């Protein structure tokens, strides 16, 4: 994908930041309690069933290179299954939020918080839950893995779709109503196309994050049960167990090939095709290109197939679902006061119950001391995230600016940066861990960089996008007035790329919190390295099957992420929008 | 009985009023008791300035929004939802950028569930009629503005509406393109080649209305009501330079600048009274510029609005706010399509920059209630500081958020020019001190 397209897309509002208000509102608090209650209920339910988790009788994973292509394929299939689920979720839930005010009040804060929850923590519950649903079958473990990936992907996609639906241009909305399109036709002709660019960008971002989770979710230990689904993640786990450096290298190579292939074969064609959905009335400057897409357009057979598919789609879009726009009164988002009051009462009652449920559960298992411990470890992890993002920024901002201002360099580096962002860093962990072990380094310090190993690239490619979008006339002006280096950085380029930087750093920091769960504890054969932090706390609790501590750890981490978002990123983002916009 | 059937009403608007509701605090009237009958075979213009509610009226007729009271009937059927007998052409063209020209034209037929073959055939016929042959597979972003509006027209005609509604269809186009499109549309209309019976169009361009329409309904602003109904019986094709044409344009200018009867000089220029007056954002440079032009030869302080608009390439919507702001500030008088400078205005035009600022400051504080109010508050406060939000809240009690914002920005920009008070964007605070 080319730089300008990225530049345009990178400016999409990150989840939740475009909204007003820094302080949590009533619904944020309510939703937080609900989510906590859901965790507790799940943990509680799993524990109640005394039976041990059913053991799986899977074909054992081997380190035979001949098996690797199949493992890679299975990993990829899981990935796509999850992305389909996420799309379905997006279409249903985001549409509901955009059309119903009552649903919106609940769904939007829920998405906002769920995307801040460290989804790796979910794994514990989901594995246990799905293995109960499908006892003894591989399907349960597969579902758990797919669900884990889903939880890392769905929220920002849904949010992007929701935002698009809420910002449909008034005139197109009028045309749609004027010609009395049925809601079904309107969905496919107006809403989905309008939302497509943002949704595709977010899907790509989700995919990038998803590789990380697919690797983490294939080989998982909960209590005394270890599940190893055939895939690159399990291959890697086995390689670590056996201290097999060659196998780790093969996994890295396989992962690289898979990501390259999916980028070239799937996403680039989609981006090139979706270019026509970009909502602008001016002719495009340079359009995203894809050789696969060009090939498809030139090949007769493929075109015939695509033509048939699209005509079926067109016929489907024509299905006259009887709840047509004609029957409904003109769209109105106003509700009656009485209904609102009733809704509020229901929400309040349910919240009170959920709160009681959470407190009751936590109090029987854990004391204040545990909360304080988790909080203290959270501060340690927070320190790591802050320091690492600062270090990554200090390194990548100057480099990104240098590259972005030189189109020839940007053209070459940008795809690499995006590739690196998509590459699941946990595949590289064993190499780093082997290094730490052999040089006897302090894990408290040297495990930390693993947290930003995969996420720092978001900073790089956003800064590159920002610098390449920086207007030429402003650059020329600063050259003519011979701005000195310090002044140039302070008054010209840093404000110029600031909105992009905030987007990148926000993504990077969110990803780092998540990564801490796998980065603060690392194994190499029988050697176990551990850094003190909240991530390690959650990882340990997961391994021990200690549900209350997992709930506590996730809860504390969510609070940290939400608070940092509200107090740091949201004000920064609004400042950037207000002061540093160049368009 | 005979007369009734001969001129059957196609669209009947009956005592229609519309109120903009703002969170229950205060209601802003948009349209007030509008009555209108659209008959067969005529083009009617709703002429008025931006914000007079004429576009709202068109949307109510189209069934896109409900009226607060009164109603619209098309062929005797009351309009409660988007009506099948009408089709609309939009100012912004409102084309789907991801659909080709052909698909855009087909969109209304597709919504009706018409089969592909018939759809295609009818769409191609409409494309042919409107002169878009060869562009069927182009995307809107590849077309010029004029071509895009032709797509908009074809899309409207293809559903065979009885009434064509046009919302400022030419105002987003350049002068030349707009004229070509007007002429083409009139040709089609006069030759009876369009499958429609009447056209109802909204415009703020006086000449356009006189050029195209059989009847012109002049709207007043705040709230919008029909000020006058003018029958245009000049034969088609009309010539802009003909004396009758000019006379009619002058006459409409005069009506649009007439003072609302029963109100003293400056009241009623802008909606609202006192500090709650909704002000337009007019740059001080434009005010000074117009005064300079007026004071110089050949006008010598007194001019007809139509020629001055033409010579400055300003549309009604651009010129009127400037002229009326000058009137509010007592630098000029506007009446009967004329603008006449006051003594203060002439003094301003002769003065140098410093004296201009002093004079402007004086008039601003005296004649613009909101400016005087902010100045008084700042004078009274010990620190001579006041947050803008305080005044914004005050304004929002009596006008929509958007108008409040515009009004406050207008006053801020005038006050900055006159150096009456300062505003710090970062902190959102008004103060008396000017930055050193």
Residue A568 pLDDT greater than 60, yes or no: yes
Judged on CB neighbours under 10 Å (0-12, 13-18, 19+), A553 is: buried
**Can you name the residues that pair with B230 across neighbouring β-strands?**
B216
Q: What pLDDT does residue B316 have?
A: 74
- Length of chain B as a residue count: 436
Selection from A385, A389, A411 nearest residue A504 by Cα: A389
Whether residue B88 and residue A178 make contact (CB cut-off 8 A), yes or no, is yes
Query: What are the two backbone dihedrals, phi and then psi, of residue B40, each rounded to the nearest 5 degrees?
Result: -65, 145
- What is the distance between the alpha carbons of residues A158 and A562, in angstroms, rounded to a whole number? 18
- The burial class, CB within 10 Å (0-12 / 13-18 / 19+), for A403 is buried
Flag whether residue B23 sits within 8 Å of chain A, measured between CB atoms.
no
Rounded CA separation B419/B364 (Å): 11
Q: For A455-466, what is the mean pLDDT?
A: 86
User: In A, which residues are within 8 Å of B96 by CB distance?
Assistant: 172, 175, 189-190, 193
- B87 contacts A180? CB cut-off 8 A: no
Contact A276/B97, CB-based, under 8 Å? Answer: yes
Dmax (CA) of chain B: 79
pLDDT (tens digit per residue) in B57-93: 998 998 888 888 888 988 888 888 888 888 999 988 8
CA–CA dist A129, A470 (Å, integer): 50
Given a cut of 90, is residue A89 above it in pLDDT?
yes
| Mean pLDDT, rounded, for B212-224 | 86
- Give the percent of chain A with pLDDT over 90: 6
Using CA atoms in the order A99, A102, A104, A107, what is the torsion angle rounded to 10 degrees?
Answer: -130
Of residues A451 and B412, more confidence is placed in B412
- Shortest CA gap B94–chain A (Å): 5
Please say whether the beta carbons of A447 and A533 come within 8 A: no
- In a mutational test of the A interface, the residue from B24, B111, B161 whose CB has the highest number of chain A CBs within 10 Å is B111
Cross-strand bridge partners of residue A149: none
Query: CB of B113 within 8 Å of any CB in chain A?
Result: yes
Q: What is the dihedral of CA A524, A525, A528, A533, to 10 degrees?
A: 40
Note whether B370 and B411 are within 8 A (CB). yes
Highest mean pLDDT among A50-54, A538-542, B420-424: B420-424
Tokens of A573: 């983002």
| Residue tagged 């493929």 (tokens) | A302
Instruction: Report the DSSP beta bridge partners of residue B74.
Output: B11, B77
Buried b (16+ CB within 10 A) or exposed e, B306-345: bebbeeeebbbbebbbbbbbbbbbbbbbbeebbbebbebb
Cα–Cα nearest to B156, from B98, B86, B99, B103: B86
Tell me the Ramachandran region of residue B163: left when phi exceeds 0, alpha when psi lies from -120 to 50, beta otherwise. beta
- In Å, what is the CA distance from A571 to each residue of A155, A463, A563? 21, 19, 12
Q: Is the previous residue joined to A341 through a cis bond, with omega within 30 degrees of 0? A: no
Q: Which residues of B touch A185 (CB under 8 A)?
A: 110-111
Cβ neighbour number for residue A532 with a 10 Å cutoff: 15
Contacts of A535 (CB under 8 A, 6+ apart): A118, A381, A451, A513, A515, A516, A517, A518, A519, A520, A521, A557
Percent of chain A scored above 70 by pLDDT? 82
Report whether pLDDT(B391) > 80.
yes
Which has the higher per-residue pLDDT, A44 or A451?
Answer: A451
Tell me whether residue A94 is exposed, middle or buried, using C-beta atoms within 10 angstroms of its C-beta: 0 to 12, 13 to 18, 19 or more. buried
**Is this complex scored with an ipTM above 0.85?**
no
- On chain A, the residues whose CB falls within 8 A of the CB of B110 are 185, 189, 318
SS3 of residue B312 by DSSP: coil
Which residues of A sit within 8 Å Cβ distance of B? 169, 171-172, 174-175, 177-182, 185, 189-190, 193, 196, 276-284, 318, 320, 325-326, 329-330
Residue B222 has pLDDT above 80, yes or no: no
Minimum Cα–Cα distance from B21: chain A residue:
A334
Confidence of residue B333 (pLDDT cuts 50, 70, 90): confident
Mean pLDDT across chain A: 78
pLDDT, tens only, A58-84: 667 778 888 888 888 888 888 888 889
Q: What is the DSSP letter of A406?
A: S
Alpha-carbon distance A529 to A444, whole Å?
Answer: 9
- Judged by a CB distance cut-off of 8 A, whether residue B64 touches chain A is yes
Q: Residue A379's pLDDT band (boundaries 50, 70, 90)?
A: very high
Per DSSP, A566 falls in state I
> Scanning the structure block, which residue is given the tokens 């050193």?
B436
Report the DSSP pairing between strands B198-203 and B43-47: parallel
Interface probe for B, chosen from A175, A194, A274 (most Cβ of B below 10 Å), is A175
Give the separation between CA A12 and CA A8, rounded to whole angstroms. 8
Pairing of strands B163-167, B198-203: parallel
Residue-wise pLDDT tens digits, A7-16:
334 344 444 4
* Whether the Cβ atoms of residue B34 and residue B28 lie closer than 8 Å to each other: no
pLDDT in tens, A144-179: 888 888 888 888 888 888 888 888 888 899 999 888
What tokens appear for A153 in the block? 């992907």
DSSP string, B316-336: HHHHHHHHHHHHHTTSEEEET
A-chain residue closest to B59, CA distance: A174
Asked if omega into B237 is within 30° of 0 (cis), the reply is yes
pLDDT tens figures, A502-533: 888 888 888 888 888 888 888 777 788 888 88
Q: Which runs of consecutive H residues, i.e. helices, occur in B195-315?
A: 206-212, 243-257, 284-295, 305-311
Least confident of A276-285, A422-431, B168-177: A276-285
| Separation in Å, CA A14 to CA A277, A293, A423 | 20, 29, 21
Q: Give chain B's count of helices (H) and strands (E).
A: 16, 16
- Give which of A219, A224, A253 is closest to A78, Cα–Cα: A219
Q: What is the mean pLDDT of residues B416-425?
A: 88
Tokens of A358: 């959470």
Residue B108: list chain A partners with CB under 8 A. 179
Query: Which token pair is A65?
Result: 């290179």
Is beta strand B332-335 parallel, antiparallel or unpaired with respect to B385-387?
A: unpaired
Those residues whose C-beta lies under 8 Å from the C-beta of residue A514, and which sit 6 or more positions away, are A118, A119, A120, A152, A212
> What is the spatial distance between Cα A521 and Cα A516, in angstroms, rounded to a whole number?
8
Per-position b or e across A4-41, b if 16+ CB within 10 A of its CB: bbbbbbbbbbbbbbeeeeeebeebbebbbbbbbbebbe
Q: Write the DSSP symbol of residue A321.
A: -
Is residue B265 scored above 50 in pLDDT?
A: no
Question: What span, in angstroms and rounded, lies between the C-alpha atoms of A404 and A407?
Answer: 6
Place of tokens 């249903």: A92
Average pLDDT over residues A476-497: 82
Q: What percent of chain B has pLDDT over 70?
A: 92
Q: Which residue has the higher pLDDT, A397 or A279?
A: A397
d(CA A545, CA A127) in angstroms, rounded, equals 11
Pairing of β B86-89 and β B163-167: parallel
Chain A hits for B66, CB-CB cut-off 8 Å, are 329-330
Count of CA atoms in the C-beta half-sphere (13 A) of B24: 2
Choice between A4 and A185, residue whose per-residue pLDDT is larger? A185
Per-chain mean pLDDT for chain B? 85
pLDDT value for A301? 65
| Torsion (CA) A111, A112, A113, A115 in degrees, nearest 10 | 70
Q: Which residues contact A90 (CB under 8 A, 6 or more apart)?
A: A154, A157, A158, A161, A199
What is the enclosing helix (H) or strand (E) of A527? strand A527-530
Q: State residue A302's pLDDT score.
A: 65
- Token pair in block for residue B290: 């117009």
* Residue A37 pLDDT class (50, 70, 90 cuts): confident
pTM assigned to the model: 0.78
Query: In the structure, what pLDDT confidence band is assigned to residue A391 with cuts at 50, 70 and 90?
Result: very high
- CA pair distance B251, B354, nearest whole angstrom: 40
Q: Give the span between the Cα atoms of A166 and A162, in whole angstroms.
A: 6
Q: Which two tokens stand for residue A515?
A: 């990564």
DSSP A565: I
Supply angle C-alpha A549, A551, A553, rounded to 5.
Answer: 65
Are B113 and A330 inside 8 Å of each other by CB? no
Instruction: Please give the pLDDT value at position A86.
Output: 92
Mean pLDDT of B92-103: 88
Edge to edge, what strands does the sheet with B422-424 contain?
A: B385-387, B429-431, B422-424
What is residue B154's predicted lDDT score, i.e. its pLDDT?
Answer: 92
- What's the average model confidence in pLDDT over A323-330? 43
């Amino acid at each position: 994908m080319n730089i300008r397209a990225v530049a345009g897309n990178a400016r999409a509002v990150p989840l939740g930041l475009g909204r007003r208000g820094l302080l949590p509102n009533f619904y944020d608090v309510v939703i937080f309690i609900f989510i906590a209650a859901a965790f507790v209920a799940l943990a509680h339910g799993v524990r109640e069933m005394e039976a041990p988790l059913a053991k799986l009788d899977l074909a054992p994973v081997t380190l035979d290179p001949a098996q690797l292509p199949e493992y890679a394929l299975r990993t990829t299939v899981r990935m796509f299954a999850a992305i389909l689920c996420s799309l379905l979720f997006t279409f249903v839930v985001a549409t509901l939020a955009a059309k119903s005010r009552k649903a919106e009040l609940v769904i939007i804060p829920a998405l906002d918080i769920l995307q801040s929850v460290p989804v790796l923590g979910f794994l514990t519950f989901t594995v246990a839950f799905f293995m109960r649903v499908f006892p003894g079958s591989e399907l349960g473990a597969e579902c758990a893995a797919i669900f884990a990936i889903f939880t890392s992907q769905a929220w920002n996609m849904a949010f992007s779709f929701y935002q698009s639906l809420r910002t449909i241009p008034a005139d197109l909305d009028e045309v749609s109503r004027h010609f009395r399109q049925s809601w079904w036709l309107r969905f496919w002709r107006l809403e989905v196309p309008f939302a497509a660019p943002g949704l595709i960008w977010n899907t790509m971002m989700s995919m990038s994050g998803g590789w990380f989770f697919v690797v983490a979710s294939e080989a998982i230990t909960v209590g005394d049960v270890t599940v190893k689904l055939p895939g690159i993640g399990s291959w890697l786990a086995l390689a670590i167990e056996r201290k097999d450096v060659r196998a780790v290298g093969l996994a890295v190579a396989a992962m690289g090939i898979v990501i390259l292939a999916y980028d070239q074969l799937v996403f680039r064609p989609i981006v090139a095709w979706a270019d026509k959905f970009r909502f602008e009335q001016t002719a495009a400057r340079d359009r995203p290109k894809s050789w696969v897409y060009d090939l498809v357009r030139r090949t007769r057979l493929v075109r015939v197939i695509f033509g048939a598919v699209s005509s079926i789609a067109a016929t489907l879009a024509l299905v006259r679902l009887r709840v047509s726009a004609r029957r409904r009164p003109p769209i109105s988002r106003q509700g009656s006061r009485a209904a609102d009051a009733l809704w509020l009462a229901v929400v309040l009652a349910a919240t009170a119950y959920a709160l009681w449920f959470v407190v009751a559960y936590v109090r029987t298992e854990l004391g204040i001391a545990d909360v304080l411990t988790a909080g203290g470890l959270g501060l340690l992890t927070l320190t790591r995230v802050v320091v690492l993002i600062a270090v990554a920024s200090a390194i990548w901002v100057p480099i990104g600016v240098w590259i972005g201002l030189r189109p020839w360099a940007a053209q070459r580096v940008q795809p690499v940066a995006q590739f690196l962002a998509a590459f699941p860093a946990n595949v590289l962990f064993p190499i780093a861990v082997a290094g730490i072990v052999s040089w006897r380094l302090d894990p408290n310090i040297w495990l930390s960089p693993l947290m930003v190993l995969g996420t720092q690239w978001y900073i790089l490619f956003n800064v590159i996008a920002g610098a390449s979008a920086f207007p030429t006339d402003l650059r020329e002006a600063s050259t003519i007035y011979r701005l000195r280096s310090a002044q140039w950085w302070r008054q010209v380029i840093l404000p110029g790329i600031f909105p992009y930087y905030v987007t990148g750093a926000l993504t990077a920091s969110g990803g780092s919190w998540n990564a801490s769960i796998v980065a603060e504890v690392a194994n190499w054969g029988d050697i176990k390295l551990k850094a003190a932090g909240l991530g390690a706390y959650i990882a340990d609790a997961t391994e021990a099957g200690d549900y209350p501590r997992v709930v506590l750890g996730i809860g504390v981490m969510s609070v940290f992420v939400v608070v940092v978002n509200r107090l740091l990123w949201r004000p920064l983002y609004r400042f950037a929008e207000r002061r540093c916009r160049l368009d | 009985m005979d007369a009734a059937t001969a001129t059957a009403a196609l669209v009947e608007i009956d005592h229609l009023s519309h109120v903009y509701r703002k969170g229950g605090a205060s209601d802003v009237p948009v349209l007030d008791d509008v009555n209108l009958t659209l008959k067969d075979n005529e083009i009617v213009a709703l002429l008025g300035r931006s914000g007079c509610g004429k576009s709202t009226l068109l949307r109510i007729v189209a069934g896109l929004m409900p009226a607060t009271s009164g109603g619209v009937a098309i062929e005797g059927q009351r309009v409660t939802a988007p009506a099948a007998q009408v089709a609309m052409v939009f100012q912004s063209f409102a084309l789907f950028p991801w659909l080709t020209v052909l698909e855009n034209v087909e969109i209304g037929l597709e919504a009706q569930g018409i089969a592909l073959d018939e759809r295609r055939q009818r769409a191609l016929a409409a494309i042919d009629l409107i002169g878009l042959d060869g562009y069927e597979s182009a995307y809107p972003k590849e077309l010029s503005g004029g071509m895009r509006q032709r797509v908009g027209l074809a899309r409207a005609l293809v559903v065979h509406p009885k009434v064509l509604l046009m919302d400022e269809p030419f105002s987003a186009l350049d002068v030349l393109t707009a004229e070509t499109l007007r002429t083409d549309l009139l040709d089609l209309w006069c030759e009876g080649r369009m499958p429609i019976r009447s056209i109802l169009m909204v415009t703020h361009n006086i000449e356009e209305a006189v050029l195209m329409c059989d009847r012109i309904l002049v709207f007043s602003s705040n709230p919008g009501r029909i000020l006058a109904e003018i029958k245009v019986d000049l034969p088609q094709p009309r010539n802009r330079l003909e004396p009758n044409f000019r006379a009619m344009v002058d006459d409409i200018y005069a009506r649009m600048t007439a003072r609302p009867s029963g109100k003293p000089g400056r009241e009623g220029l802008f909606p609202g009274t006192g500090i709650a007056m909704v002000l337009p954002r007019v740059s001080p440079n434009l005010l000074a510029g117009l005064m300079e032009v007026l004071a110089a030869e050949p006008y010598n302080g007194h001019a007809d609005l139509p020629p001055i608009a033409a010579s400055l390439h300003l549309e009604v919507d651009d010129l009127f706010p400037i002229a009326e702001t000058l009137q509010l500030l007592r630098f000029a008088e506007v009446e009967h399509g004329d603008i006449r400078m006051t003594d203060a205005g002439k003094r301003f035009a002769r003065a140098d920059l410093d004296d201009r600022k002093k004079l402007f400051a004086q008039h601003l504080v005296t004649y613009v209630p909101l400016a005087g109010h902010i100045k008084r508050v700042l004078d009274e406060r010990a620190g001579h500081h006041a947050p803008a939000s305080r005044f914004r809240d005050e304004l929002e009690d009596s006008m929509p958020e958007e108008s409040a914002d515009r009004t406050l920005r207008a006053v801020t920009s005038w006050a900055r020019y006159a150096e009456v008070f300062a505003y710090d964007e970062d902190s959102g605070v008004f103060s008396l001190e000017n930055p050193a």
